[in-house]
Amino acid sequence: MRRIFHLTILAVALAALSVTAAARVGRSEAEPVTSATAPASPPPTQASLETHPRPAMSNPDPLHSQGRLIEVSIPRQMLTAWRDGHIMARFTISTGRPGYETPTGNYNIIAKNPNAWSRKWKVWMPWAMNWHGNYFIHQLPHYPGSTVNIGASKLGTPASHGCIRVNVGDAEWLFHWTATGTPVWVH
């Protein structure tokens, strides 16, 4: 009887571990930033992080076939983080809306700021990375004194003033993954 009891406890523990592991696979490695999270925000991540990267292939940017690369697809509203031909993460984003188009071309991360202020639009841009002029890759912005993220419901559609908006949690992961000088290919 004791043996059956011990085997039952072991089976329950293994089932709980497998459920926990299965839930973890679908989550971003980055935890949400609780001070910037609000009920009106989307879930902490929309990332598709590759825990088991596919076989290596060339980065799609012919100028940067190896190393790290941030690829931004405007038609797909998708940001892909590449390293040595492996997809490290994919995020649904928002680029510039009509009249505020996001510039295309090859750039590099110029500077990083964990909480940049936009004087022009009067918003905070957490996890901001400057890649060209006044254009940034950053978390969904918010007004001073507010934790409501602007444009959360519009991720996946062009909605910004030209910056590349990334979801809560995803932007922090990308900020920590990216070094100054990392190539950015916007197309």
In a domain, 89, yes or no: yes
> How many structural domains are present in the chain?
1
Which residue type, as a one-letter code, is found at position 186? V
Which string of DSSP letters, residue by residue, matches 12-34?
HHHHHHHHHHHHHHTS-SSPP-G
In a domain, 13, yes or no: no
In a domain, 130, yes or no: yes
Give the per-residue pLDDT at 66: 86
Could you count the other beta carbons within 10 Å of the beta carbon of residue 65? 14
Give the per-residue pLDDT at 167: 98
Report d(CA 115, CA 12) in Å as an integer.
44
Give the per-residue pLDDT at 22: 37
What is the DSSP secondary structure assignment for residue 181, as one 8-state letter?
T
Report d(CA 111, CA 107) in Å as an integer.
12
In a domain, 19, yes or no: no
- Assign residue 180 the CATH number of its domain: 2.40.440.10
Cα dihedral across residues 79, 51, 25, 31: positive or negative: negative
Report d(CA 103, CA 95) in Å as an integer.
10
Write the CB contacts of 38 (distance below 8 Å, at least 6 apart in sequence): 142, 146, 147, 148, 149
Report d(CA 184, CA 187) in Å as an integer.
10
In a domain, 112, yes or no: yes
The tens digit of pLDDT for each residue in 84-101 reads 989 999 999 999 999 999
Give the per-residue pLDDT at 53: 52
Q: Which of 69, 80, 20 is nearest to 47 (CA)?
A: 80
In a domain, 6, yes or no: no
Low-confidence ranges of the chain (pLDDT < 50): 5-43, 46, 50-52
Report d(CA 171, CA 1) in Å as an integer.
53
Give the per-residue pLDDT at 81: 97
The tens digit of pLDDT for each residue in 66-82 reads 899 999 999 999 999 99
In a domain, 155, yes or no: yes
In a domain, 25, yes or no: no
Give the per-residue pLDDT at 78: 98
- Expressed as residue numbers, the domain containing 89 is 34-186
Report d(CA 93, CA 114) in Å as an integer.
18
Residue 67 phi, psi dihedral angles, 5° rounding: 85, -160
